[in-house]
Structure 1
Amino acid sequence: MPTLNKIRTAIRGRQDPIPVDPALRSLRTALTLFFALDGLLFAGWVVRIPAIKEQTGASAGDLGLALLGVSAGAVATMTVTGRLCHRFGSHPVTVAAGVLMSLGIALPPLTHSALALGLVLLVFGAAYGGINVAMNSAAVDLVATLRRPVMPSFHAAFSLGGMLGAGLGGLVAGQLSATRHLLLLTVIGLAVSAAAGRTLLAHPAPRAGRRAPASASGSGAGRGRRLVAVFGLIALCDAYGEGALADWGALHLQQDLGARAGLAAVGYSVFALTMTLGRLTGTVLLERLGQTRTLVAGGAAAAVGMLLGSLAPTVWAALVGFAVTGFGLANIFPVAIGRAGELAGPSGVATASTFGYGGMLLGPPAIGFLAETWSLPLALTTVAALAGTAAAIAYGTRNVVRAAAR
């Protein structure tokens, strides 16, 4: 029997990654487009922040407060979105959030004060939080139906969309005003939402992926809620590193290692590129290593990479460290969100996403505070510490996770 089981496992591992059922293939394509759209719109907004700051005349402090609108709107919406997905289904909520995000990105250039900017960013943030929970919930359902760990491929689409959005923003910054650029993104977003949304609305979420909400009664539900929190903590550890490197990586290369501005800017690009490559190969890694080994190996690699990236004496060694860190962190967040969704459906995705988004918010200010107390290189070692923590949590809870899966 053990030999027969191994043969069956090997056969399943060699299945074509593209689903045979045309409906499932269409659903996968539509969801991939929504993940890419999310990254495209968010990156498009980020690259226009300097222009919006100049337009509103906001000080650095006022702009910082206004930007909290994105975070506040996202966090406030995530839990509510989980409930909406339970009631209406993840597919309609994904489409609605995609439309709202596409419309919301056109609002910031219409503001002329920090207060007005903060208010419209609440709308944009709410849509951002909503689409992340809804589309991840839909992806969990589809992954369970396909019986293949393809969740990283969706997050790779998000990363690619972000790279495309940032690149497009850089190209048109000198030719188009912020108003025209973001309005163009609105048109693109509405077109993608209409095209991909038709597929999602035409097909309900596959039943094979549905799970009972974590609020159900019983000891099993209590254990499920605890495991959702565990995976949420793993997501937090991952997102902490993403946020820290996005805000502090270039400054570390320039300030501490003497890199020129152009070379320093390459630091985050290297990190983002290897993270995208890691997610593109994530399905293969999960099929060969399994979820626990992927989490442990990824966390350990990110810890080693970030120790090199933060403490290396040369720029090139630090860039190698950033590259290793990106590859290590690549699949931790998708796996954590996917497992939370498998355990508790949309409410699990909402909980883990809130943890993860909290980590992304916590990272930059925590690094800044620690840099003031110690130094920036030592502060960045906390990214390595949390990546190692994620690996330790995954390894320490492996037996409980296996029991829950059974």
Structure 2
Amino acid sequence: MPLRNKIRASAPTDRNSHQSRSTPPRTDSPWSPARLALTAFFAVDGFLFATWVVRIPDVRSQVNASHSALGLALLCLSIGAVLTMPVVGRLCLRYGSRPVTVGSLALLSLAVPLPAHTHSVAALGGVLLLFGAGYGGANVAMNSAAVDLVAQLRRPVMPSFHAGYSLGGLVGAGVGGLLAGTLSASWTLALGGLLGLVITAAAGVVLLRSPDAPQVAGGSSADETGGAGPRAGLIVVLLGLTALCTAYGEGAIADWTTLHLTDDVHASAGTAAAGYAAYAFAMTSGRVGGTWLSIRLGQTRLMPLGGLTAAAGMLVAALAPSVPLAIGGFVLVGLGLANLFPLAIARAGSAGGPQGVALASTLGYGGMLIGPVVIGFLADAAGLPLALTTVAVAAAAGALLPLTVRRR
């Protein structure tokens, strides 16, 4: 009898130990300290970038740049980001995505105040190269860390991280706008960088001390090798093209929405600003609810549905004859595009590890680069409303590409 009791007592222990070796433990609460810290990093990233964007006119006056010269200087930011992203992917493989996240956000926080202290276009371009390196590196490292955390939590929470970025951007734009009349650009950017360093230090301690996601027995080696062969590489490219289509629309809308509402739909400047704010709020709301939608609908349904919703909304926004209808179209675009980019990056990370995140992010950032430029040339040739319909075409392509990934 004692022997049988010992055998019975030991059986559940053996079964539990086998289960713990084969699957990662699921956190009791989905809002773990690591998730909160990583969400704070996403929010700081959006806050710092928005703080810089609202002070671009002041910096432009300070360096006495023409529109074309300012465009070349701003291009340096994008060049710095694109050149850094593949390097950061390799650094994440070697040192881990969490330490690289902390380092990238620290670099970004230190670079934010620098543009306000430049007095020539060349100096501004050089500073923005460093700014872009921090921004691009942070986006690759944060998304790589988020992919790992999603696997650890076993919940599709990737959209919530990007919701943090959107919320940070809204706060940064709002605070920057309020301070524009009272503080100089140098003081505003310096305070923003200081806040970024403080939050990076606090959230970094939490993130680095939190346990990493354990390796799943028999799982993919993508995290170790950066990919699982040509098939995984092709899937990452398709998902990167999905991110490109999404970012094409985001970049175009950010630069051309207010101009379209004022010039083509004859809205006032205040109404046009409110229209863009409605789009941004819709995107933030869509990302806040992205986890719930991913669970209810599934990612393979949510991504095509979002792309088609954005395509329909963009057609309405571009061709609507009235202001309320156009703004309603932009709201649909925000809701539709909200989860396409984060889910594409998450799936690219699952297929290709940090290198997959780096490649998909680089392609996505390329879409944000070419969107405003393509829209500008098409607007000169055929008018802005017709040019904006290319955003609908890109969104429809972003809806179809995930279906191709699913078949593969």
In the superposition, the TM-score normalised over structure 1's length comes to 0.91
2:93 touches 2:226 (CA, 8 Å); kept in 1? no
| Among candidates 165, 169, 192, match of residue 158 of structure 1 | 165
Amino acid at match of 2:189: L
**1:289 and 2:297 are equivalent in the alignment:** yes
1:19 Cα shift?
Answer: 4.0
The answer for the alignment partner of 1:5 in structure 2 is none
Please list, as runs of the form range in 1=range in 2, the aligned pairs for 1:22-41 lying within 5 A after superposition: 25-41=32-48
1:217 Cα shift?
Answer: 10
Using the alignment, how far apart are the partners of 2:245 and 2:398 within structure 1?
A: 6
1:376 Cα shift?
Answer: 0.6
1:136 touches 1:338 (CA, 8 Å); kept in 2? yes
2:223 touches 2:354 (CA, 8 Å); kept in 1? no
**1:267 and 2:291 are equivalent in the alignment:** no
In the superposition, the TM-score normalised over structure 2's length comes to 0.90
1:214 Cα shift?
Answer: 8.4
The answer for the alignment partner of 2:134 in structure 1 is 127
1:213 Cα shift?
Answer: 4.1
Please list, as runs of the form range in 1=range in 2, the aligned pairs for 1:174-185 lying within 5 A after superposition: 174-185=181-192
1:237 touches 1:359 (CA, 8 Å); kept in 2? yes
RMSD: 1.8
The answer for the alignment partner of 1:298 in structure 2 is 306
User: Relative to 1, partners in 2 of residues 1:135 and 1:215: Cα closer, same or farther, differing over 3 Å?
Assistant: closer
Using the alignment, how far apart are the partners of 2:81 and 2:230 within structure 1?
A: 26
Using the alignment, how far apart are the partners of 2:211 and 2:90 within structure 1?
A: 17
The answer for the alignment partner of 1:3 in structure 2 is none
User: Relative to 1, partners in 2 of residues 1:203 and 1:69: Cα closer, same or farther, differing over 3 Å?
Assistant: same
Using the alignment, how far apart are the partners of 1:156 and 1:352 within structure 2?
A: 19
Using the alignment, how far apart are the partners of 2:290 and 2:394 within structure 1?
A: 21
| Among candidates 381, 387, 390, match of residue 389 of structure 2 | 381
1:150 touches 1:282 (CA, 8 Å); kept in 2? yes
Using the alignment, how far apart are the partners of 1:137 and 1:206 within structure 2?
A: 12
2:163 touches 2:287 (CA, 8 Å); kept in 1? yes
The answer for the alignment partner of 1:14 in structure 2 is none
Please list, as runs of the form range in 1=range in 2, the aligned pairs for 1:139-158 lying within 5 A after superposition: 139-158=146-165
The structure number with the bigger radius of gyration is 2
User: Relative to 1, partners in 2 of residues 1:217 and 1:33: Cα closer, same or farther, differing over 3 Å?
Assistant: closer
Please list, as runs of the form range in 1=range in 2, the aligned pairs for 1:102-251 lying within 5 A after superposition: 102-203=109-210, 205-208=212-215, 212-213=221-222, 221-251=229-259
Residue-by-residue CA offset, 1:46-95 (whole Å, 9 max, x unaligned): 00000001111112211111111110000000000000000000010000
1:243 Cα shift?
Answer: 0.4
2:278 touches 2:331 (CA, 8 Å); kept in 1? yes
Secondary structure of 2:182's match? coil
The answer for the alignment partner of 2:9 in structure 1 is none
1:122 Cα shift?
Answer: 0.4
The answer for the alignment partner of 1:84 in structure 2 is 91
Secondary structure of 2:229's match? helix
Amino acid at match of 1:343: A
The answer for the alignment partner of 2:22 in structure 1 is none
Residue-by-residue CA offset, 1:286-331 (whole Å, 9 max, x unaligned): 0011111001100110011000000111111000000001000000
- Comparing 222-231 with 365-374, greater Cα deviation is found at 365-374
Please list, as runs of the form range in 1=range in 2, the aligned pairs for 1:294-373 lying within 5 A after superposition: 294-373=302-381
1:125 Cα shift?
Answer: 0.4
Residue-by-residue CA offset, 1:242-278 (whole Å, 9 max, x unaligned): 0010001111111111111111112211111000000
Amino acid at match of 1:39: G
Using the alignment, how far apart are the partners of 2:224 and 2:96 within structure 1?
A: 17
Residue-by-residue CA offset, 1:352-406 (whole Å, 9 max, x unaligned): 0001100001100000111111111111001111111111122233222xxxxxx
Using the alignment, how far apart are the partners of 2:251 and 2:94 within structure 1?
A: 32
Secondary structure of 2:125's match? helix
Secondary structure of 1:257's match? coil
**1:94 and 2:124 are equivalent in the alignment:** no
1:205 Cα shift?
Answer: 3.2
User: Relative to 1, partners in 2 of residues 1:211 and 1:19: Cα closer, same or farther, differing over 3 Å?
Assistant: same
Unpaired segments ≥5 residues, structure 1: 1-17, 401-406
Secondary structure of 1:117's match? helix
2:77 touches 2:131 (CA, 8 Å); kept in 1? yes
1:215 Cα shift?
Answer: 9.7
Using the alignment, how far apart are the partners of 1:113 and 1:358 within structure 2?
A: 27
Residue-by-residue CA offset, 1:97-149 (whole Å, 9 max, x unaligned): 01100000011111100000000110010000000000100000000110100
Amino acid at match of 2:309: A
Secondary structure of 2:32's match? helix
2:248 touches 2:371 (CA, 8 Å); kept in 1? yes
1:203 Cα shift?
Answer: 3.2
Using the alignment, how far apart are the partners of 2:120 and 2:204 within structure 1?
A: 34
Unpaired segments ≥5 residues, structure 2: 1-25
1:37 touches 1:192 (CA, 8 Å); kept in 2? yes
The answer for the alignment partner of 2:73 in structure 1 is 66
Amino acid at match of 1:306: M
